[in-house]
Amino acid sequence: MLGIRGPLGNGFTPQGRVLAIAGGVGVAPLYPLAMKGSVDTFILGARTEAELVFAKYLAVLTDLKIATDDGTAGYHGFVTGVLDEQIDLLSYDTICVCGPEMMMKGILDRLSAAGIAGRGQFSLHRYMKCGVGVCGSCAIDPKGLCVCRDGPVFTGDQILDSEFGHYARDASGQRKRV
C-alpha cells in the first residue's frame, strides 16, 4: 500500500524583474517559471556539462548563463561566481533560488550583504515525516518554521540568521550539519 497526500506547501511568487538561480536538479521547480515567461535571467549550474538540465530550452526562454564546476560549459566555477562577476543584483526585484543548500546559503549571504535579502525566494529541502507541521522533522529554528507547512519557499529575510545553511535533521530527528 502506498499513500499519497497533497498538494502541500507554497510556491514561488515572482514579481517585476526576475532572476532565477538553479543548481543541479534544483532547476525542476524553476523551469515552469521560465516557461510562463516570468524569468528575465536564468543562472543554471551543474558539476559538468552532461548534468545541465533543460539548458537548451532555457536558452530560448531566458537570458541563460551557465556555470559548471569543471568548466566543460559556460563559466568555470559555481553560480555564485557568475553572480559576483556578471550580475547586478540590485537590478532584480525577485531572485528565485533552488539547489544544494550551501549554494543557496552563498546566494542568501550576497543578498543580505546587498541589503535585499527580502527579494530572495528560496525553495528548501528537509527530511519530512508528517507533512503538516506536527513532528518537527523539517523545522528551521529558531523561529520554528516548518518547511512542510510554511514553505518550501521562504523569503531570504525569513531564514536569515537561522539553521538554514548550518543544520538539518535526519530520519531520527538528530541535528546534523548540512
Contact residue for ligand FES among 116, 133, 157, 162 (CB under 6 A): 133
Contact residue for ligand FES among 39, 95, 148, 153 (CB under 6 A): 148
**Where in 59-98 is the site for ligand FES (CB under 6 A)?**
none
The one-letter amino acid at 24: G
* Segment interacting with ligand FES (CB under 6 A) among 28-36, 71-79, 99-107, 122-130: 122-130
Query: Closer to ligand FES at the Cβ: 60 or 171?
Result: 171
Query: Closer to ligand FES at the Cβ: 58 or 168?
Result: 168
In DSSP terms, which residues pair with 153 in a beta bridge? 123
The sign one gets for the Cα dihedral 109, 111, 117, 121 is negative
178 scored as a contact of ligand FES (CB under 6 A):
no
Contact residue for ligand FES among 128, 160, 167, 178 (CB under 6 A): 128
Give how far the C-alpha of residue 120 lies from the chain's centroid of Cα atoms, to the nearest Å: 9
Query: Closer to ligand FES at the Cβ: 135 or 178?
Result: 135
CB of 8 to ligand FES, least distance (A): 9
Q: Give the span between the Cα atoms of 120 and 53, in whole angstroms.
A: 22
129 scored as a contact of ligand FES (CB under 6 A):
yes
Q: Give the span between the Cα atoms of 163 and 28, in whole angstroms.
A: 24
8 scored as a contact of ligand FES (CB under 6 A):
no
**Contact of 92 with 68, CB cutoff 8 Å:** no
CB of 146 to ligand FES, least distance (A): 4
3-state secondary structure of 120: strand
Give the residue ranges of DSSP H helices in 114-171.
Answer: 147-150, 156-159
Contact residue for ligand FES among 137, 156, 159, 168 (CB under 6 A): 137
In DSSP terms, which residues pair with 45 in a beta bridge? 23, 67
Nearest to 40 by CA among 12, 21, 24: 21
- Footprint on this chain of ligand FES (rule: CB under 6 A): 128-131, 133-138, 146, 148
